[in-house]
Amino acid sequence: MKKVILIGATASLLAACASVPQRSEQVEQARAEIETLAQQPLAQQAAARDLDAARAALQQAEAAEQQKAPPDVVDHLGYLAMRHAQAGEARVSEARARQEVARGQEERNRILLEARTRDAQNAQAQALNAQAQAQNAQAQAQSAQAQAENSRAQAEIAKDQALAAQQQLADTQKQLADLQAKKTDRGMVLTLGDVLFDTGQATLKPGADLVLGRLSTFLSANPQTRIMIEGHTDSRGTDEYNQALSQRRAQAVADALTARGVPADSLRTLGRGKAYPVASNDTPEGRQQNRRVEIIFSDPSGQFVQGAT
């Protein structure tokens, strides 16, 4: 009798353990990232959409975890939540930097105002002790001096703005170089080989996550940049088949980026079919080079090079 009771208790314990869902490390990391973002003072002002998207993705991941979905599904949802949270943190950092620049500009204006006020007071004291003709000449000199100071201040501001624009352009070019984008007559172009897709398919393989994650991070950090996504195929198959396949592959990349928080209105897709090979279609190696997706980047202001399309 005791043996039967012991066996029943053991079975109950094993059933209870089996009912507890496994915890996903990816979901835990996403939860921590979201908590960090939510505690940022500028989170609601600068990254509300990212925070909401991260929480929604985390809720889906937790629901999948409770429903004992496959671990890769849970991890993927947790990864999406973490990427939204990281994008939000980037926006918060950008907003904080803008505030710092604004405060610096206000301090600069205050110092300039104090300097001009002191100069005006000194000039007034001198004018009271001088003759009318000297006072008039001094007033003219002071006016010229104020104009010169104003010109110098404007020149300094323009110089600072030019330096900031140059630095932004240099940073953007470096980030594109890190993505292995190359400069062409159509602008900066990033080529994604057919290793991202199975042969004849338009569904992205898991190996695409790394490069698409880096690309979405770059676009989140440079919200004015727009991209054109072009799909290309080799020469095997009909024109209609290759045209449709190239369009589906370009759209698959676009969908993956929007899922990572990239605004859809900053993306454009275009299927090129087999019309623009970069190598000979007579060899397997050449055909592999022709099966590709190309990402064409605009400049930091969102403008494409003339003839980019």
pLDDT of 45-84, one tens digit each?
988 999 899 899 889 989 998 999 999 999 999 899 889 9
To which residue do tokens 């949802």 refer?
A: 77
- One of 3.40.50.1100, 1.20.1440.230, 3.30.1330.60, 3.10.450.50 is the CATH number of 175-297, namely 3.30.1330.60
Question: Residue 253 contacts by C-beta under 8 Å, 6 or more apart in sequence?
Answer: 192, 196, 204, 212, 229, 269, 293, 295
What is the band of 161 on the pLDDT scale with cuts at 50, 70, 90? low
Cβ-contact 224, 300 below 8 angstroms: yes
Handedness of CA 64, 68, 69, 73 (dihedral sign): positive
Whole-model pTM? 0.47
Q: How far apart are CA 36 and CA 11, in angstroms?
A: 42
What is the band of 7 on the pLDDT scale with cuts at 50, 70, 90? very low
Cβ-contact 219, 257 below 8 angstroms: yes
Phi/psi of residue 129, each to 5°? Answer: -100, 5
Strand ranges for the chain from DSSP E = 182-184, 187-193, 227-232, 267-271, 292-297
Cβ-contact 46, 95 below 8 angstroms: yes
pLDDT given for residue 8 in this prediction: 45
